[in-house]
Structure 1
Amino acid sequence: MLTTLTNQNNAMATGFVAMLPQIAISLIIVVITAIVARFTAKITDLLIGKTDIRPSLRQLIETLVKLGTWVLGLMIAAIVVFPDLTPGSLIAGLGIGAVAIGFAFQDIFENFLAGVLIMVREKMRIGDVIECEGIIGKVEHITLRETHIRALSGELTVVPNSVLFKNPVEILTDREQRRHDVVIGVSYDTNLDEAADVIRTAVSVIEQVDDEKGVDVFAQEFNSSSVDFLVRWWSGSAPRSGRESKDQVVRAIKRGLDEAGIEIPFPYITHTFKEKVPMGENPGEPSTGG
């Protein structure tokens, strides 16, 4: 038994020594692969830099080129160490291994695939302000696994790509402009046609409002103490641009209605009592009035 183990160890040692040249060559191939992968990434970046490809897609192409270089280099190194391996058998083995790894790291590969698809599709670029699953902010960085979203208040949220891919994403800055609205009420004794003209004129002259797309003023509903108008206009799509234009619109409407003598009412409250309320100076004394 001991002799058999000794012979096996000697055979393994002899085989390992015989394989040292192949191992050394394979290590050199790995080093060369690392150098070639770095150069191919730089060359790819130079070639793509002359085009109008968006940054996220550029990063994806560079990553795939680098990954392909590494896969090819490692395959060559494995064939050098194990000459019996063929490209076909190696690819088949990698396929079986990929399936097993895929089941073990399902979430990771799901985010990876979602990252690839997010980078490929045209919408949602870096710099866009988006809203998804209660997360609102500007897209700062997109990787193959996650996306960095900077909240409007400054916090950074790292979102798995699968969340952005499987759920509806509202892109607030997909276009340069979007429609904003505000509700304004006037008193019931107001001439509604006159009020609508005053509001439309006040909003149309604001610089941040796109007068080519017009200003909509709709009498919307009878409220408790006012007739409400829905005012809609087009301005910048960024959240700050929307707030700035709404600030100017509200100020202009208030100023225009004041100048026209049109009241913006506050809620009126009417109290009804079942019994007569004493009107005397002292609550306990009966009223002496008529």
Structure 2
Amino acid sequence: MRKLLLLMTLLTYSFNVLAQTETPASPLDELSQLNQEVMELYQAGQDRTGTTRDVLRMQVLNKNNELRDRIGEFINEPPEGTAATLLDYVKRQERYTDNTASYLNSKIQADEKALDKASQEEQLLKLKQLNEDRMLSVQMLGEQWENYQWMELLGHNTDQKKAKLAKAIANRLEFVSASLEYNNQQEKVLAKQLKEASESEKATLQLMHILAQRKLASDIDRLNYLISLGDQAQIDTSNYKKQQFEVTGDLTNDILNPQVIYSIVSAWAESLKTWLIDNTPQVLFKVFIFALVLLLFRLLKNLTRKVVKRAVASPNLKMSQLMQDFFISMSGKAVFFLGLLIALSQVGLNLAPILTGFGVAGVIIGFALQDTLSNFASGMMLLIYRPFDVGDFVEAGGVSGKVSHMSLVNTTIRTFDNQIIIVPNSKIWGDTIKNVTHERVRRVDMVFGIGYKDSIEQAEAILHDIIDNHPAVLRTPEKTIKVHTLNTSSVDFIVRPWVKTDDYWDVYWDVTREVKLRFDKEGVSIPFPQQDVHLHMVSPEKNDA
């Protein structure tokens, strides 16, 4: 409110002078009336206190702005014979602006000293008042520039005054720009310190950071106003617009100005050039170290895979092919991942955020890929319990065929007609698994029928002869050949020799073929399903009855 009191004092001086000297012409009666209202509001505020006085003082400022607006309107379209009176109004505004600016500059200096001596809690309030005074001081330059423009419209030469004011605007631009750069650096330093501070230090740093932010915001507002004013004064403001863009990141129409673009690009190019000159040797060395570490760990990865491959292939371990592939693959990947982390640390990269990011990403991916994780878990169970291995013939997941490839997510099965079917591991693990070739020895189950009129002993002797003479049939376990079923059309024998798993189908097909040939040769029939139908004739006498 001290700022308002100052303005009231200066306004009173100006308006008293106007009231004593002016005899307004009829077209300017409104200006005289506004001047009188300002004086009355100021006098009313002298006898009031508290909120009422503050409200009246604010009304004085608003009324003076209204007075300036009306002066501007009359100057744009001056009534006949009023030029001299309007020029007198403007000159008094010029003196008022000079006096206000001088007082504000003195007040700002005193407030800055008081701000440095104040406690941190008091600095927030004092800084707010100081920022308002600084902005008002900058606005005085704008009002003075407007005063000189009015004078030129009224035929008064102000070239020297405008040149002097333009120099003052340029000096103020330079000062505010330097202040903005300093406060921007301070804000960044405090923000970084605040992130790394302990709980006991945070309270003090937070207050200092708020002060830096408010100083920075005040500098940005003043710089924006001064850039606009500098453009009117035909001052080169391209560097200040570049700085404004770099600090705030706001895209404005000024960015499209070729000079501003050139200034931004030139600054970036110069920064890049300086950075390259200062850091190229160091960067090249780090890149060399990075590549060297990766190369060494790549060689170590291949060596590790070979060592692990030999280790897991040992017959004593009895590992499945899937488990062997798993350990070989994971060992190589683990070594290379470790090498990548070491290489990144050598170039100065902080690994803590990266590892934290991996953890967060893992949680997100886990929720997004629940089905895949289910397949992975099923793959781990298949790896541990080993119900089948690569190369086995299985019936699993509704598919029959030879396992051609396995991973922790899915299993590839090649069917007997050479189709490739990829089955998710969760479907395999959650269903019945039939491993046809897991055991080295299998029993071939066959059934052969003879007619009821054929000799059982002859047929049984033929079957024993066929099985005993086949080279692929094992002597141990003992074969089984028995009369099994008296069927509707045949007497059925079960023939069950034992063979190696790889010979299963060869024996099955050979024995079936040989049985047909020997039965035909020995006159033993192989019946097919048939029924006897018996018809009973009814005599005519029974029909007549």
Are 1:62 and 2:322 an aligned pair?
A: no
Q: Which residue of 1 aligns with 2:438?
A: 174
Report the structure number with the largest CA radius of gyration: 2
1:174 and 1:29 mapped to 2: Cα distance? Answer: 51
Correspondence for 1:270: 532
Matching residue of 1:288? none
Structure 2 unaligned residues grouped into runs of 5+? 1-219, 225-242, 250-263, 315-319, 539-545
Shift in Å, 1:194: 4.6
- Equivalent residue number for residue 201 of structure 1: 465
The 8 Å contact of residues 26 and 78 in structure 1, kept in 2 or not, is answered as no
| Post-superposition offset of 1:132 | 1.1
- In the superposition, the TM-score normalised over structure 1's length comes to 0.73
- Shift of the 267–112 alpha-carbon distance from structure 1 to 2, 3 Å rule, reads closer
Partner of 1:48: 308
User: Counterpart of 1:97?
Assistant: 361
Aligned counterpart, 1:227: 491
User: Map of 1:209-224 to 2, 5 A cutoff?
Assistant: 209-224=473-488
Which residue is 1:7 aligned to?
247
Higher RCO by CA contacts (8 Å cutoff, separation 6 or greater): 1
Q: Quick check: which one's helix share is greater? A: 2
Q: 1:155 aligns with which of 419, 428, 445?
A: 419
Letter in 2 for 1:242: Y
The AA in structure 2 aligned to 1:224 is: T
Q: For residues 374 and 286 of structure 2, what CA distance do their matches in structure 1 show?
A: 32
- SS for the counterpart of 2:528 is coil
Q: TM-score w.r.t. structure 2 length?
A: 0.42
> In 2, Cα distance between the equivalents of 1:110 and 1:184?
47
Match of 1:249 in 2: 511
Deviations, residues 173-217 of structure 1 (Å, cap 9, x unaligned): 112321111111122234435533432232121112112222212
Q: Secondary structure at the match of 1:220?
A: strand
**What is the one-letter code of the residue matched to 1:148?**
T
In structure 2, the residue corresponding to 1:50 is in which secondary structure?
A: helix
**In structure 2, do the counterparts of structure 1 residues 125 and 33 end up closer, same or farther at CA, with 3 Å as the change threshold?**
farther
Query: When you count strand as a share of all residues, which structure comes out higher?
Result: 1
* Distance of 2:293 and 2:389 partners within structure 1: 32
2:117 corresponds in structure 1 to none
Describe the SS at the equivalent of 2:389: coil
Out of 361, 372, 375, the residue aligned to residue 108 of structure 1 is 372
Listed as ranges, the gaps of 5+ residues in structure 1 are 277-290
Equivalent residues of 1:145, 1:160 under 8 A apart: yes
Q: Which moved more, 1:112-121 or 1:173-182?
A: 112-121
Across the two proteins, how many residue pairs are aligned to each other? 267
Separation (CA, whole Å) in 1 of partners of 2:519 and 2:329: 60
Q: CA deviation at 1:112?
A: 3.2
